[in-house]
Every structure is written in C-alpha cells, then in structure tokens.
Amino acid sequence: MSATKLLVLGIVHLSGGAHGYQVRSELQSWGAESWAKIKPGSIYHALKKAAADGLLTEHAEPGNSGPERVLYRATARGRDEMVELVRDGLRRTHDPDMLNASIAMLPMLTRTDAIAQVNERVARLEAELVEQAKWREHPNRDAPEHVRDQAELWAGHARTELEWAKSLSKRLSEGAYTMADDPGSWRTVPGHLKMHS
C-alpha cells in the first residue's frame, strides 16, 4: 500500500525533519493505527525505502539522551512525489486507505487543486453508481445470489462517499482548512507540528 509511504513522507515533511519514533508517535496521536492500519514496523521500512529512493535524506544523530537515532528530511523530489500521491488518493475510488491518508495530508495541496481533485472524485463516484445500477438489472448469472446481494452494500457505501465528497468540496470552496496557499500554512510556518518532545 502506498498509503504508508504517503503518511510517512507527509509527517516528515510537515515537521520539517523527523526520526522514526517521532513519525510513529505523531501518527498514533492522529489515530492512524486504526484508520490506516499502520504498524510500527512498516514505518521504519517506509522511511528507509523512501531514503533509498531519494525522497528523503538520512542524517545520523548521536544519542545525546536515549538511544541514537536517524533524522530524516524531505527532498524536493520527495515533496513532489508526495503531492502527487495526495492528488491520486483523492481521485481514486476503491482505495479507502489512500483516501484516508490523502485527507490527512490535504493541506499539502493548494485550495483550487484540492477542489479539482475532490470534484474529479465526485464525478467518478457518480459514474460508478450508474454502472452499478446497470449491473443490477443484468446480473452476472455465474455469481451466487448472495454475492450479487453484496452490490447493495457497495452501492450504499458509494452513495455515502459521494455525499461526503460533495460536502468536502463545498467546505473547501467556502474557505475551510488552512491550505498550502493560505497564510499560516505549513509552507510559511515549517515545523508547525507541535512535537511531544
């Protein structure tokens, strides 16, 4: 899943440099263990992988108090990649983890960009609902009855998401949240995450 990648890159970027445990704590305080199903082990792996891919840089830090640790910082490529991941996650349906991660990192985008991506999502969801309605009139005879019945549940979820996406788009248009191009954003105030250390 690239949701892990997105969240890890995002936290490092937002805090303007962080070590593994800091990323882990921040995600935990956001409740990410539950909605993104991220386990500590994956975070350290994702950090190393991102560093190997040139999206982050590694700086060894001597352990002044406590064990030694590695400081990660985002590179320009890392930031570009992350913005692209957020945009992707907003548009793509059928990937709840990526959606959740993208919402968490929403302020990485400019307001107009975010609105465009969310509207694209709305359009896709509407198209899928039409597709599903068709499928229900001409069901696949190979699938057992109860499997066909699941379609109701998915349609319900799709409708829920559609309403939510529409309301998000509206909130964004009305100026909710501090986006990348707003005063006081992470861009103008780097390291604005209050760390617990």
Partner DNA sequence: GTTGAGCTAGTCAAGTTTGACTACTTGGCC
Partner DNA sequence: GGCCAAGTAGTCAAACTTGACTAGCTCAAC
Structure tokens at 185: 């954003």
Structure tokens at 25: 């704590």
What x-and-dash track marks residues 30-59 binding DNA by CB under 7 A? -------xxxxxx-xxx--x----------
Q: Shortest Cβ distance from residue 53 to DNA (Å)?
A: 9
- For tokens 């440099």, what's the residue? 17
Nearer to DNA, 29 or 167 (CB): 29
**Contact at 8 Å (CB) between 158 and 96?**
no
Nearer to a copy of itself, 58 or 126 (CB): 126
Which one-letter DSSP state was computed for residue 54?
T
**Contact at 8 Å (CB) between 149 and 113?**
no
CB atoms within 10 A of CB 55: 25
Interface residues for a copy of itself in 25-84 (CB under 8 A)? 29-31, 34-35
Contact call for residue 103 and a copy of itself (CB under 8 A)? yes
User: Which residues contact DNA by CB under 7 A?
Assistant: 1, 4, 19-22, 25, 37-42, 44-46, 49, 65-70, 196-197
